Amino acid sequence: MRLEFVTVDVFTRHRFGGNPLAVVLNAAGLSTAQMQSIAGEFNLSETTFVLPPKDPEHTAEVRIFTPRAELPFAGHPNVGTAFALAKRGGIFGQPIGDRLVFEEKAGLVPLDVLKDGAAILGARLTAPQPLSRGDEVAVDIVAAACSIAIDDIETRHHAPSVASCGTAFIFVELKTRRALAAAQPRAEIFSRNLPVGGATGIHLYLPDRADGVDIRARMFAPLHGVPEDPATGSANVALVSLLASLRPETDLSLRLQIAQGVEMGRPSLLDAAAEKRGGQVIAATIGGHCAAVMTGIIDI
């Protein structure tokens, strides 16, 4: 069995920035164990496996694996996979248009291809689930897990807590860029105290408009084999939903430019948006540019 794969850098305009992704284009026939082994071999934050859709009205079934576990939904894998399929022009004998729908564990994920004329630039997804809020997490546990001081954590707007739009994370607002830059994951604290509420990892963020963005963020998920992620679409689409939910306006369109991966030397830029109507967040999207990097074959 010969598997075709491509790699894509996601949430960047340039190769060797953003969040790298491997996409296995013809994964039908692979077992879950084989997919997990291949994802471990790539050793990227995620690898996607593209299978024929269960419903022919959809584009594909997509399964997403970190080096250690399968995820129900993730952002950069969806954006990168949509970009890769759009560049390819078709999959399973069907042409790829400007709108795709992926079948995933968390539900259906609609995506729009971003273009400049005929040039394919990237993609934008709509979260498969509405915002859900989970447990609060003790400030001292979060501080210890991320090697920061308790006083570095901002709690005026919300306590550290779990939220999800398909994949759960612990969201923690910080007070300063210094604290964000100094943070480092401590795997032994994660192992002892986390996950809480099924959270994949801890997403630290800081409102900071100094560099032409709205938010700076970092995400740690050492229990999933991802000490730090350069760009986490599933976390940031939940973050924009969370921030919209906390705003006092009943009706609101919130759009944020989020920088992530800067401290890793993999700068990423994510375009996040949420629509709030009647006091409820009704939709959230995340998108950005991508850059094609490699193509290859795996013989199984």
What per-residue string of b and e applies to 257-269 under the rule 16 or more CB within 10 Å gives b?
Answer: ebbbbbbeebbbb
| Cα–Cα distance, 174 to 217 (Å, whole number) | 10
List C-alpha distances in Å: 72 to 60, 186, 212, 256, 273.
Answer: 15, 25, 32, 24, 21
What per-residue string of b and e applies to 79-112 under the rule 16 or more CB within 10 Å gives b?
Answer: bbbbbbbbeeeebeeeebeeebbbbbebeebbbb
Among 111, 107, 103, 65, which residue's Cα sits nearest to residue 84? Answer: 111
Active-site option among 46, 104, 154, 173: 46
| Cα–Cα distance, 144 to 83 (Å, whole number) | 38
| Cα–Cα distance, 60 to 55 (Å, whole number) | 8
Query: Burial, 124: exposed, middle or buried (Cβ in 10 Å; 0-12, 13-18, 19+)?
Result: buried
- 46 counts as catalytic: yes
The residues assigned a catalytic role are: 46
